[in-house]
Amino acid sequence: MRALESSTGVRDPHTPRSYHVRPDGTFHRDLASRDLRHIVATSTGHLWMDVDATNRGQVELLESLCGFHPLSLEDALNAQSRGKIEEYAGYLFLIVRGVRFHADTEDPYDLETFNLACFLGPNYLVTVHHGTSDSIVGAADRLVRNPELLRRGADRMMHLILDAAVDAYFPILDQIDDFVDGLEERVFEQFDQNAMRDIFAVKRLVLSLRRHLAPQREVFNVLTNRPSPYLTTEGQLYYRDIYDHVLRITDSLETYRDLLASTMDSYLTQVSNRLGTATKGLSVFATMSIPFVIVSGMWGMNFEHIPFSRAPHAFWWMLAGQLIAGLLLFYLLRRFRLV
């Protein structure tokens, strides 16, 4: 295995990372820009070129190398572009959205997203992304260990990258499952009054994932079912597997959304029940205090002649009468199951 390097002996940082398999089966990596132009112009072998959109030198080479349509270049370089798939003259263009939890924040629900654009030609694949992409790094490592991956064709190489990008959703689903289990325990067993904020945070996370995943469902549906001169029939079978993963992820997100809605309803129901219990207790206390209020009000009036006003034990008689009346009211409330 022999690598083509720049004139300095190392890869020029302004030259995209690249991998090439010649018709004779030899494998080369990190080609110079002149070699990349020659391969694209002559359509020899299979080429994968990876462009970092934050590197201006690599972007300039991308713009001048393959003659891509300006609209597709604009979408590829825009980090906020929506997932899509379009066929241009000479190549197939698509964008998928990758996700991961943000590592540089204390918020456990903070999601980081990034675009991965692919230009698929007859014998080449060009990927464009902003910064580091785990799916690109993983695919590059596998390709270095097994160059046969690129010998199978550019469409199979794109499948390898997109499959890794979609599979990155599954660890996030596992984390969401843990979030939901924890929220259910806090609501049903502990009744944590701060759980509502986290319920909304996880629900927002689920809705965000659904929003990012929805366009990709259409992308992989097209890759699976629509004939294209840039996709082999065998290659489309592999994209069917990714499409199945997308459907599984979508179904899981729908399930989590329903679970969160049920958890939120249960939380609000418990709040209402606790409020009802407190109100009921206050009502019982207020009802039992009625005799005290009436008797104290009547015998507390400022008149000269009030019954029992001069009796030596009148206070204790009144106190006993109030207690008896209060207990009688409580007995009647219990008898009629009002408390």
- Report the C-alpha gap between 331 and 339 in whole angstroms: 10
- Prediction pTM value: 0.78
For the chain, give the mean pLDDT.
85
> Residues of the chain with pLDDT > 70: what percent?
94
Q: Each residue of 72-130: pLDDT tens digit?
A: 999 999 988 999 999 999 899 999 998 888 777 777 788 888 899 999 998 899 999 98
Least confident span in 9-13, 37-41, 214-218, 232-236: 9-13
Task: Tell me, rounded to whole angstroms, the distance of Cα 196 from its chain centroid.
Answer: 18
Residue 2 has pLDDT above 60, yes or no: no
Looking at residue 40, its pLDDT comes to 83
SS3 for 243?
helix
Residue 1 has pLDDT above 50, yes or no: no
72 and 86 Cβ atoms separated by less than 8 Å:
yes
- Report the C-alpha gap between 287 and 280 in whole angstroms: 10
Q: Each residue of 134-148: pLDDT tens digit?
A: 899 999 999 999 999
The mean pLDDT value for 288-317 works out to 73
H helix runs in 82-153, sequence order = 134-145, 148-151
- Report the C-alpha gap between 325 and 319 in whole angstroms: 10
Q: Which residues contact 318 (CB under 8 A, 6 or more apart)?
A: 295, 299, 308
Looking at residue 241, its pLDDT comes to 93
